[in-house]
Every structure is written in structure tokens, then in C-alpha cells.
Amino acid sequence: MSEQPLGGSERVDAVVVGARCAGSAAAAMLADAGRSVIVLDRARFPADTLSTHAMFPAGCAEFQRIGALPRILDELDPPRLTHIQMTFGGETGTRERWEPVDGIDYGVSLPRNLLDVLLVENARERGADMREGCSVQSVDFEHGRAAGVSYTDADGELRRIRARLVIGADGRRSTVAAQVGAWRPYRVSRNGRGLVFRYMGDPAAEHSWQRRTMWQWRDEDSLAFAFPNPNGRVLGLFMGDADEASEARADPEAYWERKLRQHPGFAERIAGATAQTKIRSTGDVQAYWRAASGPGWVLAGDANHFKDPVTGQGMGDALRMGRTLGEAVAPLLDDYAATDAAARRWEHETTRHCLHAYHFANSDTIVRPAPATFREAVRLLGPDGQPGLSHVIGRTRTFQQVITPRLMLRAMARALRHGPDRGRILRESLADAATELRVRRELARDAFRPAGPVTGSDHPPLEWWRAPAGPRSPQQDPIPERERAPT
């Protein structure tokens, strides 16, 4: 809990802006370590947010590490998604069981209006002061160092909190990032795909194998997904070209019907389903990296880094960022220099954890039919109990550990042997192999704030978003180290 108000402001060890995955995880760890922490969120929970929420065992292990898993399982009783199945144009590419993480061998798909309130309750129960309906207006600086925030409370009163550390866990359009001079990322990559989704009553029987499987169909250049949800629901998602979001907005049901024809496997899986919500869509999911640590401030979760949701990593990464940040800084908060150094080391480690997944998502956001070599690689991996694609998606191994150069060569040979258009397959495979080499070189360099771009993986960005309105502090760090502005 925070200390008594002093001179109009409260004093705490840490103030966290944003109470969802990253913010509630950071708060839970700081409170567990005996630190005083206030979390401010402008939302009042339960509150939804735009997200399709596929989570794998590594994400569930994060729930466990912050102490939220028992509550989630008890209160939501979600289907335990033990398998992932991927189908290419009607043929099964792979059906794999997740590798366990900390003994957890299932993923979940939990609507954010159900999940996030439990994360907030978990942090509150651990001792964090969770304040809803509170909107942060500015980061306050003292002697060039972030020293707290000003916010309007649930009654519209302007209030101040002084803190040893300001944590921005306030999402893609982060007020904290804008306030500390980190709004413009040092790296941006345009998304090719958009997302169109809705919830339906699941026609599959409650404890059937269909309800334990996360599904993905790849037909032509489009992807379809089905994620079984609690309460007998299933989330259906299409990821075609980003422009399809506008098509879906113009005539949602006509769009849905067209996609059902494009994805007959998906249509079969959900045959007889009843639509339970309207169709939601977005074409704006560009990937980016921001400078994420500076004097007295840190950015975690989407405020720090976002990758295309096509591989479903954002929530798990946001939870992990919050947890590891809390663990890293909690013992050091009485020493400013040590806190800032730990935050910087944490930023580097976080980048290392996410960079290979960023490149994997960049390759899957390219709107094209699944490359023949990739299809063959997935088939070669699947059957004999070797690490498979589920290890890459589940983050228990990196893409580079699973899709080795030797495997790529074998897959390419098979694709060329079986493929109808060998010239095209060869050209595409060589281009992808060259991109992969460049990715591996970047990963090996292990740079702090690696600015790229890696040709073939980073996609030239469109315009960057306009910063949220608000006062800008004259003391803010003006140009974060190695920032590279997108053009």
C-alpha cells in the first residue's frame, strides 16, 4: 500500500500505468517482494480490449508464476487446449501436443473481459493498490529523472504520485512512452495481415478432442483459426490481407460467408455454430520496438514491443515482461543508479527473448500461400516426436533451434521433388533462406536495441501513430539511445 500523502502527493516505491497483462504481473511481483506499488488504469474492470487471446503453456506458466493460475482455473474453468493442429489446403500439416512448461501442458483462450479482471484481483490480493478509472496525464520529472505521475482519479480530481520508478504498462498507445520521449519506436515493421473474429457457440461436445485443440488452417494466402473458449464458446478468426478488415466492416456477414468458402476445414469445424457476438476487425497491428528504459522509467508489455498477433505471443510476452521486471527491480528500488542499470539489463534480456519471435511473426504476416519448403519442414518435424512447430509457437525452442539449416535443405529438396513449379519454389526458398541467414546474424550480434532493418523480415512501415495529447516534460530524455525513427 502507498504511504500517507506528502505535500499533495503520495509516495510509493513504484507506480504502474496499466493494469492488464504487463502491469498486473509487475505489480504482483513488486507487492510480493514487500514493495509499495500503485497501479492506475483508466478502465474499470471487467473491461474488454481488442485481442484474440490465444495463449500457450508458457503463458499459462506465467499465470502460475504470478500466482493467478488457480483463480483463473477455478473461476473460468477454461478448456485445456493440449494440442495444436495445422492444416495446409485440406491436408493435415501437423497435429502436436504442447511441450509442458513448469508442468503445464495446455494453453487457454480467455476473453479479456473475463481474464483481465482476475489479473487485477490477483495483484490486489497480493498487496498492490489497484486503482481503476484513473487516467494518467503526465510523467513528472525531477532533476532529469522520472519521479512520478499526475493523473485524474475516478472523480475527475487531478492527483500526483511520487515514485522511485514509473512503469509504463499502458499498451501500444502508451502515455508514459510519449511522456518520456520514447513514443517513436527505433524499429517498426508493417503488418501484412489483419484480424477479423467473432465468438460462437461451439458445436463440438464439451470434453471432445476438438475442444482440446487449437486449430489453424492455411488455405491459399489466408489463415483461419478456431480457439475453444470457456462457456461452450469458440473464437473464430480469419487473418487474410490487412485490407480485409475494411471489407469485414463494410459487410460483415458477406465477408464471413466468403471466408467460410475459402476455408472449408474451418467451415466444417464450426458447422452448426451459432454466432454470439458481432464481428470485430482490425488492420492496424504493425510491429515495433521502443526504447524501454531510462532514468526512473521503464516500459513493459505492448508499451515496449509489439509483434504481429499472427503467432499469438503478445499476452505471454507482456506477462513475462511484467514478472521479470518486477523481480529485477524489486530488490534495488532504494538505489536509483542500481534500479536504472537493472532496468537497462532487463530491457536487453527482454529484447533477446522476443527478437526471434518477432522475426517469426514478420514472416507469417506476409500474405502469401504457405511456402512449399515451410510446408515440407513442418511435415518432416511432426511425426517422429522431434521438436516441432508447436515448440516454436509455444516458445520452448526458437525457430532457429527447430528449423535448422539441415532441415531446411531436406525440406527444400522434398519441395522441389514434389512441387509443380520448381523455378518458383527454388526462387522463394532461396530468398527465404537468405532472410533467415540475416536474421541469424542479427540474433548472434545480441545488440542492445537492435535497430535492423533485416531485409526480407522487417517490412517498410507506414506512418507512425500520432502521440497521445498531454503535456510534455522539458526534462524528458529527448533521444533514446540508438533510436531510429521510421520514415
Ligand X SMILES: Cc1cc2nc3c(=O)[nH]c(=O)nc-3n(C[C@H](O)[C@H](O)[C@H](O)COP(=O)(O)OP(=O)(O)OC[C@H]3O[C@@H](n4cnc5c(N)ncnc54)[C@H](O)[C@@H]3O)c2cc1C
Least distance (Å) from ligand X to the CB of residue 204?
Answer: 20
CB nearer ligand X, residue 218 or residue 373? 218
Binding mask 133-162 for ligand X (x = CB under 6 A): --xx--------------------------
Q: Are 456 and 437 in contact (CB under 8 A)?
A: no
Long-range interactions of 418-422: CB distance < 8 A, separation 24+: 418/372, 418/376, 419/372
| Min CB(438)–ligand X separation in Å | 26
Contact with ligand X (CB under 6 A) among 23, 111, 283, 453: 23
Q: Smallest gap, in angstroms, from Cβ of residue 332 to ligand X?
A: 23
Task: Choose, by CB under 6 A, the member of 283, 295, 301, 461 that binds ligand X.
Answer: 301
What is the rounded distance in angstroms from the CA atom of residue 190 to the CA atom of residue 252?
24
DSSP string, 412-446: HHHHHHH-S-HHHHHHHHHHHHHHHHHHHHHHHH-
Nearest CB to ligand X, comparing residues 171 and 228: 171
> Looking at 301-395, which runs of residues are DSSP E strands?
305-306
Measured CA to CA, the distance from residue 345 to residue 324 in angstroms comes to: 11
| Residue among 41 and 247 whose Cβ is closer to ligand X | 41
For position 282 contacting ligand X by CB under 6 A, the verdict is: yes
**Least separation in angstroms between CB 415 and ligand X:** 29
Out of 52, 213, 365, 476, the only residue in the binding site for ligand X (CB under 6 A) is 52
- Read off the amino acid at residue 438: R
41 is an interface residue for ligand X by CB under 6 A: yes
The torsion defined by the Cα of 188, 365, 216 and 368, in degrees rounded to 10, comes to: 180
| Cell numbers found for residue 367 | 500474405
Q: Based on the shown chain and the rule CB under 6 A, indicate whether residue 18 belongs to the binding site for ligand X.
A: yes
Write out the H or E segment, with its range, that includes residue 250: helix 244-250
Q: How far apart are CA 80 and CA 315, in angstroms?
A: 17
List of residues 6+ apart from 329 with CB closer than 8 A: 14, 30, 165, 298, 339, 342, 343, 346
C-alpha grid cell, residue 58? 508458457
316 lines the binding site for ligand X (CB under 6 A): yes
Q: Which of 28, 37, 40, 123 binds ligand X (CB under 6 A)?
A: 40
Q: Residue 285 or residue 329: which is nearer to ligand X going by CB?
A: 285
**Of the candidate residues 11, 20, 193, 320, the single one contacting ligand X (CB under 6 A):** 20
Three-state DSSP at 399 gives helix
Q: Total binding residues for ligand X by CB under 6 A?
A: 36
135-155 exposure pattern, b = at least 16 Cβ within 10 A, e = fewer: bbbbbbbeeebbbbbbbbeee
Stretch that binds ligand X, among 40-48, 68-76, 269-277, 331-339 (CB under 6 A): 40-48
Grid-cell match 473491461, residue found: 47
CB count within 10 Å of CB 389 equals 21
3-state secondary structure 108-132: EECCHHHHHHHHHHHHHHCCCEEEE
Q: Which grid coordinates are listed for 46?
A: 471487467
Residues between 79 and 138 that touch ligand X (CB under 6 A): 135-136
Q: Which of 285, 291, 299, 415 binds ligand X (CB under 6 A)?
A: 285
Which residue from 192, 296, 314, 456 is in contact with ligand X, where contact means CB under 6 A?
A: 314
- Under the binding rule (CB under 6 A), the answer on residue 53 touching ligand X is yes
- Residue 315 interacts with ligand X (CB under 6 A)? yes
Verify binding: residue 365, ligand X, rule CB under 6 A.
Answer: no
Cβ-based nearer residue to ligand X, 15 or 408: 15
- The CA–CA distances, whole Å, from 433 to 331, 415, 417, 421, 428 equal 44, 14, 18, 18, 9
- Answer for which of 101, 195, 372, 411 binds ligand X (CB under 6 A) is 195
CB of 426 to ligand X, least distance (A): 34
12, 120, 130, 318: which one binds ligand X (CB under 6 A): 318
Q: Which stretch binds ligand X (CB under 6 A): 53-61, 364-372, 385-393, 422-430?
A: 53-61
Residues of this chain, 159-188, that bind ligand X according to CB under 6 A? 169-171, 175
CA–CA distance from 48 to each of 44, 53, 91, 113, 114 (Å)?
10, 11, 36, 4, 8
Binding to ligand X (CB under 6 A) within 212-271 occurs at none
Minimum CB separation of residue 20 from ligand X in Å reads 4
Instruction: Catalog residues that contact ligand X under the rule CB under 6 A.
Output: 17-23, 40-43, 49-55, 135-136, 169-171, 175, 195, 282, 285, 301-302, 309, 312-316, 318
